[in-house]
Structure 1
């Protein structure tokens, strides 16, 4: 996932800028449990086998709708965090492409070839693969699908969407703001009082 790359990049940049890794855990994110639940629902089909997997994939549109619905609700609950507004827009664009195409993200075959991911093609034509589908002439909202290739020498070649980019930018900004956030005046006063009492 491109988002994971953005997270790692942001942490590295934050550390180079002498930011605090500890402050990431202090980001006031609401409904965090719903974000994790949405991810569990979204990626659960990947671990299913046999007839159970076939059944779930048959209703992948419903699974995607529930997963993204929870995620969007969680993100909207965090509107006070400006970087997450960008993430929300990215999720919304991906959600639109996925829901409009039967619950699966459409992927450009040209982008797959350019990225050197030929082995990935078989998944795009596999009806039991729950996450992506090959982009065809009848595909809706192609512009929001996975149409951008990232080939070698990038260490982890991939194809990604406009929504992925927006999500990455939002998460990058959120982590940077958190890691480089200076202590407020009230925090400093509280620490001084604590030291005096000690």
Structure 2
């Protein structure tokens, strides 16, 4: 699956926003691989967004993907350490997630601008018979 995503990103390098998507995926994969298949999550960030109820679950490794950030966590700065509360959305995200969101937004914006540009181009009609 990762290979297919990588190929899709490589085949579309002309889309500038996908460079950020690739960087985000790389950052998230790097921290997960460095922590034996788990994404560390900051307890402090969970408290800041009111999600402290997840801390005992993370301590018990209830979640197959996430674990509680500790002193033994590697690459902690790439882990889920950024508390986010925006327009009713509450979560703890990573730097890789930020890159992913920026990349997706840029890709959508580039697509919309390209569609607008094409819509404004004059139609070329060949009247030769």
TM-score (norm 2): 0.83
Q: Secondary structure at the match of 2:53?
A: helix
Q: Which has the higher strand share?
A: 2
Q: What are the equivalent positions in structure 2 for 1:118-133 lying under 5 Å apart?
A: 118-133=52-67
1:80 Cα deviation (Å)?
A: 2.1
Q: What are the equivalent positions in structure 2 for 1:19-98 lying under 5 Å apart?
A: 38=1, 68-98=2-32
1:138 Cα deviation (Å)?
A: 0.4
Give the 3 Å change call, closer, same or farther, for CA 72–130 of structure 1 in structure 2.
farther
Matched, 1:138 2:72: yes
Q: Secondary structure at the match of 2:89?
A: coil
Q: What are the equivalent positions in structure 2 for 1:147-162 lying under 5 Å apart?
A: 147-151=81-85, 154-162=87-95
1:108 alignment partner in structure 2: 42
- Give a deviation string over 1:39-81, Cα, whole Å, max 9, x none: xxxxxxxxxxxxxxxxxxxxxxxxxxxxx44433432232221
1:99 alignment partner in structure 2: 33
Structure 1 segments unaligned to the other structure (5+ residues): 1-37, 39-67
CA distance in 2, matches of 1:188, 1:164: 41
1:82 Cα deviation (Å)?
A: 1.4
Give the 3 Å change call, closer, same or farther, for CA 116–128 of structure 1 in structure 2.
closer
- Give a deviation string over 1:150-181, Cα, whole Å, max 9, x none: 13x63020001111111111110110111122
Q: Secondary structure at the match of 1:139?
A: coil
1:148 Cα deviation (Å)?
A: 0.5
Q: Secondary structure at the match of 2:20?
A: helix
CA distance in 1, matches of 2:96, 2:23: 7
Matched, 1:188 2:123: yes
- The count of aligned residue pairs is 125
1:185 Cα deviation (Å)?
A: 8.3
CA distance in 1, matches of 2:122, 2:20: 29
2:104 alignment partner in structure 1: 171
1:129 Cα deviation (Å)?
A: 1.6
